[in-house]
């Protein structure tokens, strides 16, 4: 179910908070709030050919690829907030150890 939900979230991301700002400053404040929140997640946004993608370890989260860093961070934020990091990034944690596979 989490993969289906992730697909729904990813497809439905047209204008998450990116329209209706009263000024350039409120837009910048919004972008900074998103950046501050995703900073706490595993991985980071990395520039790649054609845009930005979220990378956890050596794994690119291809679903996160967007033309700008903010758009990449925004979709990562939305998916992680709804699904949690483990499901969002398809992480498997072995119950016998603390290492992620």
pLDDT tens, 51-90?
999 999 989 999 999 999 999 999 999 899 889 898 888 8
DSSP conformational letter for 10: H
- Examine the pLDDT at 49 and tell me if it is beyond 90: yes
Better-predicted residue by pLDDT, 30 or 6: 30
Residue 20 pLDDT > 70, yes or no? no
Examine residue 8 and state whether it is found in any structural domain, yes or no: yes
pLDDT of 94 over the 50 cut: no
Which of 52, 48, 49, 60 is closest to 34 using CA atoms? 52
Residue 1: band (very low, low, confident or very high) from pLDDT cuts 50, 70, 90? low
- In a domain? residue 62: yes
Strands (E), 1-101: 44-48, 51-56, 59-66
Q: With bands split at pLDDT 50, 70 and 90, how would you rate the model's confidence at 12?
A: low
Containing domain of residue 86, as a range? 1-13+43-94
Q: Is residue 28 part of a domain?
A: no
């Amino acid at each position: 179910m989490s993969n289906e939900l992730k697909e729904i979230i990813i497809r439905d991301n047209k204008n998450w908070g990116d329209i209706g700002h009263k000024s350039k400053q409120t837009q910048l404040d919004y972008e900074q709030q998103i950046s501050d929140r995703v900073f706490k997640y595993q991985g980071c946004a990395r520039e790649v050919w054609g845009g930005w993608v979220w990378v956890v370890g050596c794994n690119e989260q291809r679903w996160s690829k967007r033309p700008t860093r903010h758009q990449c961070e925004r979709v990562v934020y939305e998916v992680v907030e709804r699904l949690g990091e483990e499901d969002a990034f398809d992480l498997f944690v072995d119950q016998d150890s603390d290492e992620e596979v």
